[in-house]
Structure 1
């Protein structure tokens, strides 16, 4: 179950009433910052823009590829750990506007996480440290640390233990890597 807070609305659908739930000027500012960041090839600049103007929590050495689309309305609900990669054209949502309600939920993406291109992350999910999300995945529930997930609907392809066994003899991903610097034990 995703961790979202529900806010009921009356009358027209919640998206029709969007500026009762979030300031127009906040959305306009966020949209401009996100569009600049989507097209800039400078990863450090993207992270600075996200931290400084959107209130996102972005860890050191995290990389957002071109065209990543963080939530325009509530980007401050997004938290990404260190040394993670968010793949091309991924969407990270912290809100859902529905007919009779809207929902908000924090998104927590751990450290050393790989998110494949064209993935969509829904509000209220936690992606554990070291997880891998296959390209094109709809992340609609929590992802266990160290696991490999993919698909729509998302499913666990390999648990952390299965992945460790598959990579045991791999010269890059095998055992023996001790920390974020990549130095071997």
Structure 2
């Protein structure tokens, strides 16, 4: 029956009937009020992300003022003086798990993902859509530069001063003051002290 033999909520069963295939572990006991609140937040966040973050009218203010403000409004922990390029996408449903320190630079097309299906115990014949999610915080340190179209996976910390090359897939922590690139990203250089 799932959920250690707990009865699934009426709201969850209704969501399943209308075709929304949410995981039992995460949503099995969801209330109607929680669903309504989540839907309202999703619409608000979608408006901010889709209509304001890419507004050509506001383009001079977008990278350093408006996009950081939007990330903060959605729930990210954002410090001062960050840069957010165009078409950056965050895991809006789990924005509270994203931490961006001051002077970080997140260039165009980057994706920050805080959840993924937990594949532990996944076997032949199982329904992947019923697997629970595992969540992980993303920490982007001070002065980090993330190259265009990079995907950062859950649970990753990018140390202060690190540079991540364009089109990288960051699946593991990147140490401070290093340059990492690739799919998956690997450290290719340690940045030296100024003499």
Interval of TM-score (by shorter of Structure 1 and Structure 2)? 0.7 to 0.9
How much does 1:28 deviate? Answer: 2.5
Q: Does 1:30 align with 2:45?
A: yes
TM normalised by structure 2 equals: 0.70
1:129 aligned to which of 140, 149, 160 = 160
Aligned mate of 1:143, from 163, 171, 174: 174
The equivalent of 1:152 in structure 2 is 183
Instruction: Give the match for residue 92 of structure 1.
Output: 112
SS at match of 1:123: coil
Structure 1: 5+ residue stretches without partners: 1-6, 169-174, 177-185
Q: Quote the residue 2:71 is aligned against.
A: 50
**Is the 8 Å Cα contact of residues 143 and 149 (structure 1) preserved in structure 2?**
yes
Relative contact order higher in (CA < 8 Å, ≥ 6 apart): 1
Stretches of structure 2 lacking an aligned partner (at least 5 in a row): 9-15, 119-127
Residue number in structure 1 paired with 2:21: 16
The answer as to whether partners of 1:113 and 1:131 remain within 8 angstroms in 2 is yes
Please provide the CA RMSD for this pair.
2.6
Aligned length: 153
- Which one has the bigger helix percentage? 2
Alpha-carbon displacement from aligned partner over 1:110-132 (angstroms, at most 9, x marks no partner):
00000000000011110000000
CA contact (8 A) 1:30 1:73 kept: no
